[in-house]
Amino acid sequence: PECMPIFPNNSLIEYYSPTWKVWVQSTLQVSISGTSAEPRVTYNVVALVGRRKQVRRSTPLNAIRPEMAMGEAVEVYCAKTKTWLPAKITDDHESRHPRAGYKVKVGSDDEVQVARHLVRRRYDDG
Model confidence band, residue 55 (pLDDT cutoffs 50, 70, 90): very high
Pick the closest to residue 24 from 35, 13, 34 (CA basis).
13
In this prediction, residue 57 carries a pLDDT of 96
The pLDDT tens digits for 6-47 are 999 999 999 999 988 889 889 999 999 988 888 899 999 999
Query: Is the pTM here over 0.85, yes or no?
Result: no
Q: What is the pLDDT of residue 126?
A: 73
Interatomic CA distance for residues 33 and 99, integer angstroms = 32
